[in-house]
Amino acid sequence: MADQNRPRPFMPLIGSGGHGWGQNFAISREKPQHFRATLMRLMTYLLPYKWALTFVMLSSIIGTLFSIFGPRIMGIITTQLYQGFLHKMHGLPGINFMVIEHWLFILSALYVISALFNYLPRYLMAHVTQKSVFDLRQQLDHKLSRLPVSYFDTHPHGDILSRFVNDFDNISSTLQQSLTQIIQALITFIGVIVMMLTISPLMTLTVFLTLPLSFYFTRIIAKRAQKYFALRQSILGQLNGHIEEMYTGHHVIKAFAREHDAIRHFDEVNEQLYEASWKAQFMTSIIMPLMTFISNLGYVFVSVTGAILVTQRRLQIGDILAFIQYARQFSQPINQLSGISNVIQSTMASAERVFDLLDAPEESSLSSLSSLSSLTEITSVNPIQGHVQFDHVSFGYTPHHLIIQDFTLDVEPGQMIAIVGPTGAGKTTVVNLLMRFYDVTQGSIRIDGIDIRHMGRDDLHQLLGMVLQDTWLFHGTIRENIAYGKPGAPDSAIIAAAQQAQADHFIRTLPQGYDTVLNEEAINISGGQKQLLTIARAILADPPILILDEATSNVDTRTELLIQRAMDQLLKGRTSFVIAHRLSTIHHADRIVVMNAGSIVEQGTHHELLRRRGFYWDLYHSQYQTAPSSLTSSSPGTSTEAF
């Protein structure tokens, strides 16, 4: 079992994001700490595709420019139709369809070219973005394999998963859409202003007069809506957390008949979510009608001003039509850039979180002392015998709080060492130090006289095999799970390992046998069967040193006896460390090391320790009697051999 003193990660429950305006408001609360530096670093992942990006920018500019000329040409066509109609009314030659056909051909060509140049950058940007995010995700995946165990012990697992999934999705969608949108919005904004000025500076001024009104109301409504969206996200997280608890603990809920309490709590949180959501949506739903009203108000001013200018023959009727279309386009890039700014803020925050993980200190695969000794170099002279020495080892997960203090232990090759003690005594910490998940604070650990800090971690781990109390099996076949510790092992070796671990019988009773696919968390087999497979995996790996951390805790008594027989054969000639709480499983150990508060308080064989009537005697009798030694009436001379 894990030590109580070991730092444990907090597992947050993450709620889902909103949509539309709500999403912008919700994510805008997360601001990057170093916006410019993060942006520049993110852009470096796009540099290998600079020529594609250059084409994206040029295509976006060309496509936007061509679309901007459309309303102007439509205005010319409208003027030609209107003037032709007036000429016909006065007996003059009517509509010149040749001219109109000419302009219609130009307009069609403009829209076709614009559509083509607007499609190409989106297609290329999707390719560039996915390749860039692929490179970044691959880099982060490799980084995770190089992080020390201490990083995962001190950082929330849910937060790490969120960086790998949610933050990457955020970065990917933003890079794919925002770059082309920014270019198109800027070109549209500038181009529309230029075209409006060429038609009528006076009407352009009229349009600009409505901008402060739009900005004012948008800011007021957005500020109030953001409060409700923040509240909604918080309540949504509570609701998700409640649902997850109810789902994972539904057996306990049913066992204690607390279904009504669970439903009542859900209804309360759901009601709070409803109140916050409708208020947020109501506030944001006001924006579009309000903007439409302000825009229509601007169109009224433009129409009145344009009508006056037409009567004064300073404008053509087609110019007013073109100007109204430009006025409609004028507000679009403003709203677009406003929305993109929120998205970019959130994306930079996501990128910052990813880069923080990439910059985390790594666990060096090399030795931490002098030069690296490879496994080949170590075993080329003499094969590993399994002589393990802990020499005055001290260690603490935090600098000012030592968990292991002056721990000294000499284990001869082939010995079985059982480590026992109360929860929090430091048993699992000793194993973590041997595996070099953590480096010792003081002292040293040696295997065959070689300090493990002189070995590479990968080489060290090839010498050690582990079977943990918490089983870990991945989504795949039983055959693949057993062969995980020895890739490429033949079927005969896999089956032999399963037979030795007493797992072959139950495997063959499954519909597909060794080809049975284990689902998520391997819930289609029992807990004891999972443990049997992990033991088979360790047997197949065939390491010179074995570590068993409560390896038989999840199996029944009969299966435990069968496994124990297999273990007796497996452990012959191997150095092994067995962490056990059920003391009945370690009677036959060559030596039992009793730990308390990070130190060795006793060591010896099972019978030797019982005769001493010390700490181990108390532990042993507490499992088989109702009172410890201090409460029994047994005399010091009473024999304990029966136990």
pLDDT digit string, tens, across residues 216-232: 777 777 677 767 766 77
The fold of the 12-17+201-314 domain, in CATH, is ABC transporter transmembrane region fold (1.20.1560)
Question: At residue 510, does pLDDT exceed 80?
Answer: yes
Same fold, 12-17+201-314 and 31-199+340-360: yes
Task: Name the burial class of residue 331, with classes exposed (0-12), middle (13-18) and buried (19+) by CB atoms within 10 angstroms of its CB.
Answer: buried
Question: At residue 367, does pLDDT exceed 60?
Answer: no
Place of tokens 């998205």: 343
Tens digits of residue pLDDT in 561-578: 766 766 776 677 788 898
Question: At residue 460, does pLDDT exceed 60?
Answer: yes
Tens digits of residue pLDDT in 608-632: 988 988 888 888 888 665 444 433 3
pTM of the full structure: 0.63
Question: At residue 128, does pLDDT exceed 50?
Answer: yes
User: Confidence class of residue 374 from pLDDT cuts 50, 70 and 90?
Assistant: low
Identify the pLDDT of residue 390. Answer: 92
Q: At what angle do helices 491-500 and 557-571 cross, to 10 degrees?
A: 120
Please name the amino acid found at residue 39: L
Question: At residue 458, does pLDDT exceed 60?
Answer: yes
What average pLDDT is seen over the chain? 77
Torsion angle in degrees (nearest 10) through CA of 129, 226, 290, 170: 10
Torsion region of 395: left, alpha or beta (phi above 0 gives left; psi -120 to 50 gives alpha)? beta
Question: At residue 381, does pLDDT exceed 80?
Answer: no
How is the chain split into domains, by residue range?
A: 12-17+201-314, 31-199+340-360, 375-604, 606-643
Output the CATH code of domain 31-199+340-360: 1.20.1560.10
The fold of the 375-604 domain, in CATH, is Rossmann fold (3.40.50)
Identify the pLDDT of residue 562. Answer: 65
User: Which of these ranges, 4-18, 140-154, 176-190, 363-377, has the smallest mean pLDDT?
Assistant: 4-18
Yes or no: say if 311 and 332 are a contact pair by the CB < 8 Å rule.
Answer: no
Angstrom distances, CA of residue 99 to CA of 67, 68, 73, 94, 105? 21, 21, 12, 12, 10
User: Confidence class of residue 552 from pLDDT cuts 50, 70 and 90?
Assistant: low
